[in-house]
Amino acid sequence: MADINHVVLVGRLTRDAEIKYTNSGTAISKFAIAINRRRKSGDQWTEEANFFDCVVWGKVAEALTQYLVKGKQVGVQGELRQNRWEQDGQRRSKVEVNVSNIQLLGGRPQGSSQDVYQESSQGADRDSSYGGGQDASYGGGGEDGFDDDIPF
């Protein structure tokens, strides 16, 4: 039987992604995601956070690092890799997710100043394009805003 090493995670970034380059010029973007798990402990529900370090390589790392900001929800798919080294005579190891596919999910993180700006400017555009409010007609006739002459 063949071994399988495949992981799919959906969580929120715990910090902004950091990009570095190898000596040969390959981009490496590192970030961590937090995944909350709810479980019942007696009569109470408790939340437990799990943290996973992730690594993205190459052109994907260069293209996405600017969007990988703290609080952003992402979906990652990849495989687990164990890095081993020796430090001060002690053997150390760390497991990371070597990301092969990443999806940006949701909107901007809450509390982002850009978030507030975009919502307010879109709201103004939306009101002006429909004539200034909910009383504006969308082509419909009745009280509920729908035309009674619908052919179906």
Instruction: Say what the pTM is.
Output: 0.65
Domains of the chain: 7-129 (2.40.50.140)
Contact 70, 51 (CB under 8 A): no
Q: What is the tens place of the pLDDT at every residue in 61-106? A: 999 999 999 999 999 999 999 999 999 999 999 999 999 999 999 7
Q: What is the tens place of the pLDDT at every residue in 97-150? A: 999 999 999 765 555 544 333 333 333 333 333 333 333 333 444 455 555 555
Containing 90, the helix (H) or strand (E) segment is strand 90-105
Instruction: Kindly give, in sequence order, each residue whose CB lies less than 8 Å from that of residue 106, ignoring residues fewer than 6 positions away.
Output: 72, 73
**3-state secondary structure labels for all residues of 103-125:** EEECCCCCCCHHHHHHHHHHHHH
